[in-house]
Amino acid sequence: MSGRHIGSAHGAREGAHARRLRGPDTRTSRVTITVVGALLGILAIGQLNAQAGAPTLAGLSASDLTQLIANLTTGNDQLRAEVADLDGQRADLENAHARGETTVDQLQADLDRIRAWAGLTAVTGEGIAIVIRGPIGGDAVEDLVNELRNAGAEAIAVDGVRVVLGIVVAGAPGALSVENHPIGETFEIRAIGSPQILTGTLTRTGGVVAQVTASYPDAQVTVTPAEQLTLPATERSLIPAHGQPRL
Amino acid sequence: MSSMLTRLRRLPTVQVTLAIALLVLGFVVAAQVAGEKPRSQYTTQERAPLIDSALRLQSAQEALKGQIVDLRRRIGDLEAENPGAADSLRQLYADLEAARLAAGLIPISGPGLAFRLEDGGAGGGVDAIVSAQDVRFLVQQLWLAGAEGISVNGERLAGTSAVIDIGGSILVNSAYLAPPYEIRAVGPADLYDRLRGSVAFIGFVQGRIERSGISLTVAVRDAIDLPAYAGTINLRYAAPAPSSAP
């Protein structure tokens, strides 16, 4: 009995030694390695995506996501309208080509639209006038302009200077300028767009007007809807001198 | 030494593989956790449908922008092939191409630079997160230094482009952009030298970047590519003023 016991103990030791040589339970090890490998793969992909700058929405709150969805929905509606418009232009051009006709009117209409949008021609329409009285910095004016763009302003002018690509209002309070044009302590920002949306966006509680007046308490900012505004064309050349078209 | 090698040789392959795999897993998990930063604070289940919707809308937006770029290219080609070869028509087409170039509707390439703005470490708190204000400031400084075209993470800026905060990320041309932000600018070959001569830019680097721990790197290049603006140019409220109409 004792011998069997010893024997069986010896046999158990031999078995354990054999398992050590073969490794721990092979099936369990394979499963573990598979799981670890799968985890590694998932994490590595996640890490690569993060490093590639892929937009990650995981850091946004429900409120931020709702705002993002509203922005994307509005933006996509506008893009769809643009696609439909461009598709119509393309079809008209193809039909004209098929008939062997010229398309002067369409070319001219396209040119007028692009020039108006880019600020190369004067434009008119409804919108808002923002009057600023008192010293504010260029950063505050740029914040107002940025918010006007965000609210869908189609054309903006600061103190009579059309704001186009590359134009920045800069300077300390009392020393503002735009395009080498000095701006006094009382001036007007005009924007063409929906008067309701522009006014509502700027003057909402905690909105940009509230922020600007909090940062510059000596300044007054008033926003007034306007039925018709006329904004001048830019005097700046927007044709790149150093950049070349890439076809 | 030789006994150690002998012991190592005796170790089963499975154990060695498992040990290495777990070691790598540990590194990857650590990198993942370190990369989370303060942005990922929300993990509630109710956001899942919102995230799905946002992803669908983003995907639709990219497709629409692709269509717009293709259609504009096709229209440009058709206009160039116009069967009427009169001088006036050729002039009209040249004016149209110039207007498109001026408006940012054509991709360009030229000398310039690329900035990369990246959040600081998790210990920096909210101040270490790059904001829309930071991106706007850099863009403004680039314009003032003479940039002719700028893009942010592939979104070409137009005269109507807004850069706004959304959570800890930003929206440009209604596109959701997550950090790091690459701001590319085409302009004169000495664009960066001009920028370094700006008191406001130096103040931004010393007062904002260095204090917050945000990373700002720059690469000056002989050739920087900028894509075309792919957004809408439809005017609903503005019309050419009568005096400026042809």
Residues on chain A touching B75 (C-beta within 8 angstroms): 86, 89-90, 93, 110
Higher-confidence position of A26 and B138: B138
Residue of B nearest to A162 (CA): B159
CA distance A12 to chain B (A): 20
Which of B47, B99, B108 faces A118 most closely, judged by CB atoms? B99
What pLDDT was estimated at residue A53? 38
**Interchain CB distance below 8 Å, A123 and B143:** no
What pLDDT was estimated at residue B4? 57
What's the first-to-final CA gap in chain B, in angstroms?
A: 91
Say which DSSP state A218 is in.
T
Among A38-42, A114-118, B47-51, B57-61, the range scoring the smallest mean pLDDT is: A38-42
What pLDDT was estimated at residue B14? 67
pLDDT exceeds cutoff 50 at B212 = yes
What pLDDT was estimated at residue B151? 98
Burial (0-12, 13-18, 19+ Cβ within 10 Å), B200: middle
What pLDDT was estimated at residue B89? 80
Residues on chain A touching B15 (C-beta within 8 angstroms): 23-24, 29
Query: How do residues B80-126 score in pLDDT, each as one tens digit?
Result: 876 556 777 888 888 999 999 999 999 999 999 999 999 998 777 88
CA distance B162 to B154: 15
**Interchain CB distance below 8 Å, B234 and A245:** no
Measured CA angle at B93 (ends B91, B96), to 5 deg: 110
Burial (0-12, 13-18, 19+ Cβ within 10 Å), B234: middle
Measured CA angle at B104 (ends A231, B236), to 5 deg: 45
What pLDDT was estimated at residue A14? 47
What pLDDT was estimated at residue B245? 47
B contact residues 114-143, partner A, Cβ 8 Å cutoff: 136-137, 140, 143
**Interchain CB distance below 8 Å, B58 and A72:** yes
CA distance B216 to B196: 14
What pLDDT was estimated at residue A40? 75
Residues on chain A touching B174 (C-beta within 8 angstroms): 71-72, 74-76, 78
**Interchain CB distance below 8 Å, B51 and A107:** no
Cis before B179? omega within 30: no
Using a pLDDT cut of 70, give the percent of chain B over it. Answer: 84
Write down the ipTM of this complex: 0.79
Q: Which residues pair with B149 in a beta bridge?
A: B186
What pLDDT was estimated at residue B148? 97
* Helix A208-215 / helix A195-203 crossing angle, nearest 10 deg: 40
B contact residues 150-209, partner A, Cβ 8 Å cutoff: 153, 157-164, 166-169, 171, 173-180, 182, 186-189, 200
Residues on chain A touching B158 (C-beta within 8 angstroms): 165
Structure tokens at B148: 């002719």
Confidence of residue B227 (pLDDT cuts 50, 70, 90): very high
Higher-confidence position of A36 and B245: A36
**Interchain CB distance below 8 Å, B60 and A76:** yes
Residue of A nearest to B176 (CA): A55
Q: Which helix (H) or strand (E) holds A69?
A: helix A62-99
Burial (0-12, 13-18, 19+ Cβ within 10 Å), B146: middle
CA distance A135 to chain B (A): 19
Sign of CA dihedral A149, A150, A154, A160: negative
CA distance A214 to chain B (A): 17
Query: How do residues B2-40 score in pLDDT, each as one tens digit?
Result: 565 566 566 667 677 777 777 777 776 666 655 554 444
A 10 A CB-CB count for B171 gives 22
Query: For testing the chain A interface, which of B73, B237, B244 should be mutated: the one with the most A CBs within 10 Å?
Result: B237
Residue of B nearest to A164 (CA): B159
Size of chain B in residues? 246
**Interchain CB distance below 8 Å, A59 and B167:** yes
**Interchain CB distance below 8 Å, A111 and B92:** yes
Structure tokens at B183: 């701001």
Q: Which residues pair with A182 in a beta bridge?
A: A177
A 10 A CB-CB count for B172 gives 24
What pLDDT was estimated at residue B56? 94
What does the CA dihedral B25, B31, B34, B39 come to, rounded to 10 degrees? -100
What pLDDT was estimated at residue A100? 77
Q: Which residues pair with B116 in a beta bridge?
A: B182, B217
CA distance A3 to chain B (A): 31
Residues on chain A touching B244 (C-beta within 8 angstroms): 121-123, 233
Higher-confidence position of A42 and B201: B201
Q: Does B215 touch chain A (CB under 8 A)?
A: no
Query: How do residues A197-226 score in pLDDT, each as one tens digit?
Result: 999 999 999 999 999 999 999 999 999 999
CA distance B134 to chain A (A): 11
Higher-confidence position of A150 and B48: A150
Do the Cβ atoms of B111 and B223 come closer than 8 Å? Answer: yes
Measured CA angle at B165 (ends B161, B168), to 5 deg: 140
Spans of chain A below 70 pLDDT: 1-26, 44-55
Confidence of residue B78 (pLDDT cuts 50, 70, 90): confident
pTM: 0.78
Structure tokens at A165: 């690509």
CA distance A141 to A169: 7
